[in-house]
Structure 1
Amino acid sequence: MTLHIATPLIKSRPLSLAAGRAVWLKLEALQPPGSFKLRGVGHACEVHHARGARHFISSSGGNAGLAVAYAGRALGVPVTVVVPETTSARAIELLKLEQAEVVITGSSWQEANQHAQGLLQPGDAFIHPFDDPLLWTGHASMIDEVAQSGVKPDAVVLSVGGGGLLSGVVEGLQRNGWHDVPVLAVETEGAASLQAAMVAGGPVELPALSSVATSLGAKRVADQAFACTHQHPVFSEQVTDRAALQACEDFLRDHRLLVEPACGAALALAYEPGRLDGYERVLMIVCGGATATLEQIRDWLNKQP
């Protein structure tokens, strides 16, 4: 019995019509805490729990923190989540709903993460939001489920922040023998740390982030995510904040499911004509996200140039 659920895989009529090709959706937004993060985080928490961890510590004001809080509550392990001051009131509310202790400190995730590392005591386990092999192995299970369904796509579309999802999906594709299935890795303009790494020939730190898709807000992509671009066919794609936000609105209309702008970035490729040309069957990872409200998304959309 895993902490995550096996999520539906559906063929989307609205997105297939919009893209002019068959679009399949892996509905990770339906995981209990609202995002794919539970797959990897749940796996990591179960491993650490089996090793005797008595307390989980994480550094995420978003979906990874929510997944740790959910996993800790399910396993009966206390959880502390350190979040930066920029974290939304909604995210803090959701973390407390899962009975996590929330510590607010620092102006960025990097500062919150540094503080979290300083809290570690013997018997504690640190659960990283994206940069941990245990996470990638857990995330890979979504591709196992797709393979078991008998649907083999011509391409997988996913969003990239720190690169945990990309690392897990590539691991899943390869362990199912799908070395020939390319990944379209989508970032928003202003948070494109993977593309910067691919241009520079290695991970580099962005000077600043300027995207509303805060769940994609990693200034530096994980080393493993960059390594994936050499181990597997990975193509970098970028969309505007407006396109990501509009995709959230369109997807809510089409599938009655609210996702964050970080997820909207990947969905935007289906809604923008021509972006998926060359692929007949496309798998989109609907990674989800629980911390953005519809009011927030509409407010951001109204402020876009």
Structure 2
Amino acid sequence: MTYAHPLQADINPYLRTPLVESVSLSRLAGCRVFLKYECSQPSGSFKSRGLGMLVHHSVNEAKKLGYEQRPHFYSSSGGNAGYATALACTLYDAPCTVVMPATGAKVILHGNNIQEADLYLRGLLNKRKEEDDFNCVYCHPFDNPVIWEGHSTIVDEIIDADINISKLRAVACSVGGGGLLNGIVQGLLRNGLTIPVIGIETEGAPTLQKTMEKNQVTHLETFDTVATSLACKYVPQKTLEYCQNYDIRSVLVSDKQAVTSCIKFSFDHNVIVEPACGACLASIYFSKLDHLGLNLQPDDAVVIIVCGGSSTTFEDLHEFAISLA
């Protein structure tokens, strides 16, 4: 009982990405700012780590259980998670169905937002399971421990890089559903570090901040942000537990600050990222870290996760900027 294309254990669904000190951002922040270029992943975003690991893990498990075919993967996504899943499935020669809201790419279009697309996908998946004993895998965009484990490898690479860990004062990332934040905390804990993690959202999608304020998982019903990748209804219970037991600090930025940061970043570093990533960059461009009590010194270091984004162009950023002027 074998696959048509034997699984190679050494195939890695994600890349080891550069960690580069930014002269321009360091000058602005008054400390050493390092950029973790997750935008250089095969999918254009950090999602290649988590979703790639989920596909890799599931294919291996199916093989161990004796399935003759690789599992069929089902993903609902506003873009990045679905693209990362599809690319990983191509790598492992596994079938994949992606359901996106009508504002996303034309794969299966359903609903007005990621929550409606996800609900449709779950129904599609349940129907498939009822029809036969097919090996199906549901790929949630962020709420899965295997996904967090994949994202946690970012920290392993930071530690292996040429950086003085004793001077590392914070790791900053954008937060939508909290999967990246969970992975970063897991990676830090696994390596015996208790460095603050800065979670950055736009004002129109403050899921993490509302959860921290209420000290319970809080569901948002509406969003008002151009950073659509951050428009997630909730963060997982595990994220709440980290907020309660780890040093998580929340920052909000405006859509205008996020988009402006994307444009500035494109000029400073010749890299185009989407507004969801610009939210994290705004923590430096608009001095958001100054109010967090980090007391950063010139030789201290902060790592910014440049999470990327696979579909934004400079023309898109220009249009966003005009609409927000």
Give the alignment's TM-score, normalised by structure 1: 0.93
Matching residue of 2:201: 187
Aligned match for 1:216, one of 205, 223, 230: 230
Q: How does 1:195-210 map to 2 (within 5 A)?
A: 195-210=209-224
- Give the corresponding residue for 2:73: 56
The answer to whether the Cα contact below 8 Å between 1:19 and 1:274 also exists between their aligned partners in 2 is: no
Question: In structure 1, how many angstroms separate the alpha carbons of the residues matched to 2:52 and 2:96?
Answer: 13
* C-alpha distance in 1 between matches for 2:36 and 2:285: 17
Q: 1:40 aligns with which of 32, 44, 50?
A: 50
* 3-state DSSP of counterpart to 1:218: coil
Shift of 1:230: 1.6
Runs ≥4 residues deviating over 6 A:
none
1:117 maps onto 2:117 in alignment = no
> 1:174 maps to what in 2?
189
User: What TM-score, normalized to structure 2?
Assistant: 0.87
2:308 aligned with 1:294, yes or no?
A: no
SS of alignment partner, residue 209 of structure 1 = coil
Q: Does the residue aligned with 1:187 lie in a helix, a strand or coil?
A: strand
The partner residue of 1:81 within 72, 90, 98 is: 98
User: 1:228 and 2:227 equivalent?
Assistant: no
Q: CA deviation at 1:219?
A: 2.0
The yes-or-no answer on 1:285 pairing with 2:271 is no
Residues 248, 274 of structure 1: CA spacing in aligned structure 2 closer, same or farther, 3 A cutoff? closer
Aligned to 2:84: 67
Asked if 1 retains the 8 angstrom alpha-carbon contact of 2:101 and 2:111, the reply is yes
| Whole-Å separation in 2 of the counterparts to 1:265 and 1:274 | 11
2:295 counterpart SS class:
coil
In the alignment, is the contact (CA less than 8 A) between 2:98 and 2:108 conserved in 1? yes
User: Partner letter of residue 183 of structure 1?
Assistant: V
* Residues 23-38 of structure 1: pairs in structure 2 closer than 5 A: 23-38=33-48
Aligned to 1:303: 323
Change (3 A) 1:274 1:140: closer
In structure 2, C-alpha distance between the alignment counterparts of 1:226 and 1:248, rounded to whole Å? 29
Higher mean alpha-carbon deviation, 146-155 vs 35-44, is at: 146-155
- The partner residue of 2:29 within 8, 16, 19 is 19
| 1:274 Cα deviation after fit | 6.0
Aligned length: 292
- In structure 1, runs of 5+ residues without a counterpart are 93-101
CA RMSD of aligned residues (A): 1.3
Residue 108 of structure 1 pairs with residue 113 of structure 2: yes
Gaps of 5+ in 2: 1-9, 63-69
CA contact (8 A) 2:226 2:275 kept: yes
